Structure 1
Amino acid sequence: MRWIIFVVVYVLLDIYAYQVFRTISRYSWIYYLYLFFSLVILANILYQFNSGSGEGWAGAKSYAIGFFLVFFLPKLIFFIFMFGEDVVRFIVATFRKIGNNSNNFSLPSRRKFISQVALGLAAVPFASMLYGMYKGRYNFRVLKHTLYFDDLPAAFDGYRISQISDIHSGSFDNPEKIKYGVDLLKEQQSDVIFFTGDLVNNKATEMDDWKEMFSSVKARDGVYSILGNHDYGDYVQWESTAAKEANLERLKDVHAEMGWNLLLNEHRFLERDGEKIALVGVENWGAGGFKKKGDLDKAGAGLSAKDFKVLLSHDPSHWEEKVRYDEKHYQLTLSGHTHGMQFGIEIPGWIKWSPVQYRYKHWAGVYKELGRAMNVNRGFGFLAYPGRVGIWPEITVIELKKGPKPA
């Protein structure tokens, strides 16, 4: 039933899109060509999601989603303009009929100008989504932040942290571009590197082609990692519960084989000149139906509010609902998960917007509340839509400084 509704909506939007091309051009082959491509896109996405493929939202399914969005977003713009014009045409026709006391009711012709405006505006998301698939998904950026804490141990003043999140290796298809991103991470030469979850889309085998590359990521104080919601294999069908559990154990082994220290509701200490900070890592804890295996009490057992703590927790909703109120005072939390929805507009100092903000209050960048701070990484990889528009793949570098922030 859901696919019938989906097809009906798609065809309805296409009717309005067809009218745009028909109003603008007198060459019928143009709008017939558009309809051909539109139907191919529809047929492909229906096939991909009803063929029984077990690959999740990656591979051919991912590209089906991508090209669907490339065509669907412009259709919405066409619909808004054309339906709006239909409302105006209906009102004008009604007043003409009443004013002329006529029995005839006829709608005015469509105005070419309206269709031209609609086409011009629709070209923006069309071109942007194509760019996001061609180049944006590997447009890696290094974002740097300096965070000040009064209770930071003096030995860690100037300590540098690199964070990546949401690798989603099952979506990768360009080793050269991924190597560029990994090399960019290594070039930061931070004291420690943190990975905050979602190494794969679903299966541990997705890392087979990328494990060697990510094994080259090193830091003086090590690489620490946690699990994200996708790492548990919840989004594909397994032949048995045992197979699913074996996949998770294999994924844990992958972390170890890469030399990454996987934290599973536990903590470790980093020491420097006789002082230390605690690294706390929890399993996934997410609001809104996501897995809640994270156990903050267990992970922080034995720690006190006086200890300086860096918490790794994949989903930022954990910080919003629990962490920021915890009596142990987790000074800094590092999260990911949202990807910034891989789509939005960011102009530093001017605007920061993505549709994901209507789902997550804390969705990208640094947030400070109640004397605590959190950074939400926009993600290294991508999922479902095989691209990024405006929200680029991110490597975060955070420098810890002792004392108040300078005025």
Structure 2
Amino acid sequence: MVVRLLFFFVLLLLVEVYAFQAFKTLLRNRWMLMGYGAISLVLFLYIAYSFLNFDRSVGQTKQTMFTMGLMLLVYVPKIVLALVLLGEDMYRLISGMFRAAVGDSGEGFFGARRTFVSQIGLGLASIPFFSLIYGMTIGKYNFKVIKQTIHFPDLPIEFDGFTITQISDVHSGSFDDPEKISYAIDLINQQNSDLVLFTGDIVNTHAKEMYPWIDTFKAINRPAYGKFSVLGNHDYGEYIDWKTQQEKEENFEAIKKLYGDIGFELLLNEHRFIEKDGKRIALIGVENWGHNFKKVGDIKKASKEVAQDDFKIVMSHDPSHWDYELKQDPKNYQLTLSGHTHGMQFGIEIPGFFKWSLAQYIYPQWAGLYETMGRYVYVNRGFGFHAYPGRVGIMPEITVIELKKGKKVS
């Protein structure tokens, strides 16, 4: 751990050296350059101190989230700037080798840095800089209602047009604006769906994070067919060092109770039948199952009394569960609803045309709808935020899914 941190800080120092070169090329005033250097040093020391003094018995706090946001705000633009100057250095090296080969030493081996290259670098660096500021001030509460229609040949005709509102990854310990959260709850209620589902991560770690928000989330209307939920990986309290095992278990029990406190029925490897006009569909809720995270979800236990020909909706927090188990299961789970990835809270998305995030290099199914052999998973982009206190490009999501009988018309 110490070696990795040391490597990380050395890397940041190298980025600082390159960024300083760009500002040195552009800033002719000695005092301005000294001021830039002093501010950079203070920020580096603050970030390093905060990381080195992270308390694993407490976990993420508003302060640690601020530090993460500050680090990204300072160093992502500088990394962009450093890459531009590194490209210039490669060009200068090749040019110097060529000049040395032909005996031309007029400009010296490396030659001088070009002002316009530093200007280009700063221009490019400004894009993530202002994007990150936007994400931490506006983007994190820029809630989007995303509507998705999915066609199923085996859907009972009585459920044609049945609607589901899904939220996921609330991470209530990160919130700091009651008015914005109340606005999001109003958006959920405005959808007037038949069913409301919550696919896990009600807190970052501690049950107490949700206490100030219980009344707010309790205001989510209970539709005709109910409100159901499952647990996410953060709900198990796995990411801090607890003083005792008993303290961890008491926190876990309190977190499970939270779902009931806000009016959701928590499904722990179990199912419920949703009945309409004499027909039924099965709603199956599994505990967390992640390829790289806690595996306590048990689909066989959860669907033990569900028939092969029942139409099935699975709530499973981590989409890797669908990828590794559910999509090929012979019991035919037609639709899985997940969350977990947050779309990494950073990416580029043009609805209907293009989406990209670093999340896609970790999760094949990371945002939106995916299909294999007529079996679907929908990955919600998350309601809240975690670690980085913002969202850039990948906005907080309230999903409305409409089930339709038949095949999709091309």
The change in CA–CA distance for 1:243 and 1:92 in structure 2 (over 3 A counts) is: same
| 1:18 aligned onto 2:20 | yes
The change in CA–CA distance for 1:212 and 1:95 in structure 2 (over 3 A counts) is: same
The change in CA–CA distance for 1:29 and 1:161 in structure 2 (over 3 A counts) is: farther
Root mean square deviation of aligned Cα:
1.6
Instruction: Say if 1:313 and 1:335, in contact at 8 Å, map to a contact too.
Output: yes
Of the candidates 177, 194, 208, which is equivalent to residue 174 of structure 1?
Answer: 177
| 1:280 aligned onto 2:284 | yes
Q: Could you report, residue by residue, the CA deviation over 1:291-322 in whole angstroms, capped at 9, with x for unpaired residues?
A: 00000000000112200111000000000000
Shift of 1:196: 0.4
The change in CA–CA distance for 1:103 and 1:376 in structure 2 (over 3 A counts) is: closer
Any idea what SS the aligned residue of 1:318 has? helix
The change in CA–CA distance for 1:213 and 1:93 in structure 2 (over 3 A counts) is: same
315-324 or 41-50, larger mean C-alpha shift: 41-50
Shift of 1:403: 1.4
C-alpha distance in 2 between matches for 1:242 and 1:26: 62
Of the candidates 300, 303, 313, which is equivalent to residue 300 of structure 1?
Answer: 303
Shift of 1:98: 3.4
Structure 2 residue ranges without an equivalent (≥5) = none
C-alpha distance in 2 between matches for 1:114 and 1:102: 22
Shift of 1:37: 3.2
263-272 or 17-26, larger mean C-alpha shift: 17-26
> 1:259: which partner in 2?
263
> 1:82: which partner in 2?
85
* TM-score, length basis structure 2: 0.96
Shift of 1:52: 4.4
Identical residues among aligned pairs (%):
51
Shift of 1:355: 0.6
Instruction: Say if 1:97 and 1:104, in contact at 8 Å, map to a contact too.
Output: no
C-alpha distance in 1 between matches for 2:370 and 2:153: 17
> 1:119: which partner in 2?
122
C-alpha distance in 2 between matches for 1:222 and 1:281: 14
| 1:183 aligned onto 2:186 | yes
Instruction: Say if 1:58 and 1:383, in contact at 8 Å, map to a contact too.
Output: no
Of the candidates 21, 29, 35, which is equivalent to residue 27 of structure 1?
Answer: 29
C-alpha distance in 2 between matches for 1:251 and 1:114: 53
The residue type equivalent to 1:308 in the other structure is F
Instruction: Say if 1:41 and 1:64, in contact at 8 Å, map to a contact too.
Output: no
Instruction: Say if 2:81 and 2:125, in contact at 8 Å, map to a contact too.
Output: yes
The residue type equivalent to 1:245 in the other structure is E
* TM-score, length basis structure 1: 0.96
Structure 1 residue ranges without an equivalent (≥5) = none
C-alpha distance in 2 between matches for 1:212 and 1:103: 74
> 2:199: which partner in 1?
196
C-alpha distance in 2 between matches for 1:89 and 1:333: 54
The residue type equivalent to 2:261 in the other structure is E
Shift of 1:284: 0.3
The residue type equivalent to 1:69 in the other structure is L
Shift of 1:105: 5.0
Instruction: Say if 1:312 and 1:333, in contact at 8 Å, map to a contact too.
Output: yes
Instruction: Say if 2:171 and 2:384, in contact at 8 Å, map to a contact too.
Output: yes
Instruction: Say if 1:344 and 1:391, in contact at 8 Å, map to a contact too.
Output: yes
Of the candidates 231, 249, 254, which is equivalent to residue 250 of structure 1?
Answer: 254
The change in CA–CA distance for 1:326 and 1:102 in structure 2 (over 3 A counts) is: closer
Instruction: Say if 2:9 and 2:48, in contact at 8 Å, map to a contact too.
Output: no
Shift of 1:94: 2.9
74-83 or 318-327, larger mean C-alpha shift: 74-83
73-82 or 13-22, larger mean C-alpha shift: 73-82
| Equivalent residues, number | 406
C-alpha distance in 2 between matches for 1:136 and 1:37: 27
Q: Could you report, residue by residue, the CA deviation over 1:333-354 in whole angstroms, capped at 9, with x for unpaired residues?
A: 0000000000111112321100
> 1:400: which partner in 2?
403
